[in-house]
Amino acid sequence: MSLYERAVEAAEFLKSKTAVRPRVGIILGSGLGEFAEQVTDVVAIPYAEIPNFPQSTVQGHSGRMVIGSLCGVDVAVMQGRVHAYEGYRMEEVTFPTRVLKLFGVEQLVVTNAAGGIDPRYGQGTIVGICDHINLTGTNACVGPNEARFGPRFHDMSEAYSERLLEIAQEEAQKQAWMLKTGVYLAVLGPSYETPAEIRAFRTLGADLVGMSTVHEVIVARHMGMEVLGLSLVTNMAAGVLDQVIDHEEVMEIGRKVAAQFSSLLSVVVPRMAAL
Ligand code: CYT
């Protein structure tokens, strides 16, 4: 079966499980999985049950598709994602994004836990991604192009929707905080970066560093989806502060900022859906 056919099979499976046809999809990053509890009238499907779906091996990425309503808007929330550093091929890492599109999703919110390079960020800062730098050494669209998904060469000049970012900034302001924006640089991982790498990335124009998101955004744009990217700064990147980086801490910060993150998305998603 071709990639397209496998994605169709997975999307058809989701359609058989629910009558809901969300136009908004949300991918939850490390420590942000709790957000799925905001969804009501839930149909939750473990990734293991969805045909052809990759399973995550990382602790804290529980792995299920939560379909339901978020403040009156139909959504498909991915609680957990797989990463390239787990050894998955690009096609597997981005398979769920392909399936979301075939399921009917046109607007995608991608979230992640990231290291802060910009010293104006602090631990727990939520940042709106305005652009990215892909230093993972690969691209999710490598290989024969599937024209039913999109063109061979696709534009990435507005990978992250300016209008969605503006909405997120407006809503943050209404909640009395400022949503800073930043450029997300992706590495393969799984090791965290060295201080020398972080200095190099800062010179390159990066404000955040992480190990996900860019591949999903590349295929989302390939398929013409509109993207909002949000990073949670779970730690300052290596060398920015004089302290080591610990995965447990990354997860813990996610839980602490969960409420702020939830209240933002709960108002942003209805506005996105109304566009
Ligand atoms: N932190 C993180 N680098 C970091 O420092 N969550 C990903 C990558």
Instruction: State the ipTM, two decimals.
Output: 0.95
pLDDT of residue 59: 59
Average pLDDT, integer, range 25-45:
92
Residue given tokens 């920015």 in the structure block: 240
Ligand 1 centre from 18 Cα, in Å? 36
Confidence of residue 226 (pLDDT cuts 50, 70, 90): very high
Cα 272 to ligand 1 centre (Å): 28
Task: Return d(Cα 225, Cα 239) in angstroms, integer.
Answer: 36
Q: How many residues does the chain have?
A: 275
Q: What angle is formed at CA 201 by the lines to CA 197 and CA 203, rounded to 5 degrees?
A: 120
Residues touching ligand 1 (Cβ under 6 Å) are 113-115, 192-193, 209-211, 234-235, 237, 245, 250
53: DSSP letter: P
Extents of the domains making up the chain:
3-273
Range 29-41 burial, b when 16+ CB lie within 10 A, else e: bbbbbebbebbee
Q: Above pLDDT 90, what percent of the chain?
A: 86
Active site residues: 30, 61, 83, 85-86, 113, 211-212, 235, 247
Q: DSSP string covering 89-136, please?
A: -HHHHTHHHHHHHHHT--EEEEEEEEEE-STT--TT-EEEEEEEEE-S
Helices (H), the chain: 3-17, 90-93, 95-103, 162-174, 195-204, 214-222, 247-273
Q: What is the CATH number of domain 3-273?
A: 3.40.50.1580
CA geometry: angle at 269 spanning 98 and 215, to 5°? 30
Mean pLDDT value across residues 132-147 = 97
Spacing, Cα 35 to ligand 1 middle (Å): 20
Residue 30 pLDDT grade (very low, low, confident, very high; cuts 50, 70, 90): confident
Q: What digits encode the pLDDT tens for the residues 92-119?
A: 999 999 999 999 999 999 999 999 999 9
The predicted pLDDT at position 243 comes to: 82
Residue 24 or residue 240, greater confidence = 24
pLDDT of residue 139: 97
Give me the residue label for tokens 């994602």: 81
- The proportion of the chain whose per-residue pLDDT surpasses 70, expressed as a percent, equals 97
Instruction: Find the mean pLDDT for residues 228-253.
Output: 88
Asked if the model's pLDDT at residue 60 lies above 60, the reply is no
Q: Which residues lie across from 208 on neighbouring strands?
A: 116, 184
Asked which of 18-22, 124-128, 250-254 is least confident by mean pLDDT, the reply is 250-254
